[in-house]
Amino acid sequence: KQEVTQIPAALSVPEGENLVLNCSFTDSAIYNLQWFRQDPGKGLTSLLLIQSSQREQTSGRLNASLDKSSGRSTLYIAASQPGDSATYLCAVCHDYKLSFGAGTTVTVRA
Amino acid sequence: NAGVTQTPKFRVLKTGQSMTLLCAQDMNHEYMYWYRQDPGMGLRLIHYSVGEGTTAKGEVPDGYNVSRLKKQNFLLGLESAAPSQTSVYFCASSRGTVEAFFGQGTRLTVV
């Protein structure tokens, strides 16, 4: 069974600091890994998708890396802003299903 | 584009009542999924479908049934609701190994 873990569960940083969010998974036989953002009471918004053959993916201030052999992914958010406050979820795609971590709740203090 | 649409957005049920949640996607995706999200537990897969007419059990299928009679629709049924089924339900669709798209969720309370 695929187990996905996100550490830390919560993170509070001052505005302007870089954010580092970690995701680990137990089975390296994945098709891809996807990072999502979820605002309170809202749905999931896709941020980045990394295919299993890729090492990283970038979009604006966001950069995600993937080390499939060690079962790890890291999401970097540069120069954080109060608007980045949300819960960030990682999900791995295996057997055509997504398995999720419990998320990291980020608070960026102005 | 509508993407993935869930109906209803909110519902309150009494214990023992039944209901059906509807998920509709307009992206011609083969794969559709139902998840539930509970505080501190992330999203857990209830049932999924790899194509029209197919369904399969996920991680937490007990107490739920599903049907995929049309490619664009995936229905989640609760035959006899229990308080333990109070949760936020999300539907998603994808082409399988690429990006998954999620609906806005259905907040269900069973009293």
Instruction: Walk along chain B (111 residues) and give the pLDDT tens digit of each residue.
Output: 579 999 999 999 999 999 999 999 999 999 999 999 998 778 999 999 999 999 999 999 999 999 999 999 999 999 999 999 999 999 999 987 778 999 999 999 999
Buried b (16+ CB within 10 A) or exposed e, A5-19: bbeeeebebeeeeeb
Tokens of residue A19, six digits: 């954010």
Q: Which residues of A touch B34 (CB under 8 A)?
A: none
Instruction: Report the percent of chain A where pLDDT is more than 90.
Output: 88
- When pLDDT is cut at 50, 70 and 90, the band that residue A80 belongs to is very high
pLDDT score, position A47? 95
Q: Which residue has the tokens 């537990």?
A: B41
Q: Residue B83: what are its φ and ψ, rounded to 5°?
A: -55, -30
Average pLDDT, chain A: 94
Q: What is the dihedral of CA B4, B57, A93, A5, to 10 degrees?
A: 110
Q: Does B27 touch chain A (CB under 8 A)?
A: no
Tokens of residue A18, six digits: 């870089």
Residues 6+ apart with CB under 8 A from A42: B104, B105
**How large is the average pLDDT for residues A25-39?**
94
Q: Is the pLDDT of residue A109 over 80?
A: yes
Q: Is the pLDDT of residue A94 over 90?
A: no
- When pLDDT is cut at 50, 70 and 90, the band that residue A95 belongs to is confident
pLDDT score, position A64? 97
Quick check: A34 and B50 CB within 8 A?
no
Write the residue in A42, A43, A89 that is nearest to B42 by C-beta. A89
pLDDT score, position B1? 59
Quick check: B97 and A93 CB within 8 A?
yes
Q: Is the pLDDT of residue A31 over 70?
A: yes
Higher local confidence (pLDDT), B42 or A12: A12
Quick check: B42 and A4 CB within 8 A?
yes
Residues 6+ apart with CB under 8 A from B21: B6, B7, B8, B34, B75, B76, B77, B89, B91, B106, B108
Best of B45, B102, B107, B109 to disrupt the A interface by mutation (most A CBs within 10 Å)?
A: B102
**How large is the average pLDDT for residues A23-32?**
93
pLDDT score, position A77? 97
Return the closest-CA partner of residue A44 out of B89, B16, B17, B73.
B89
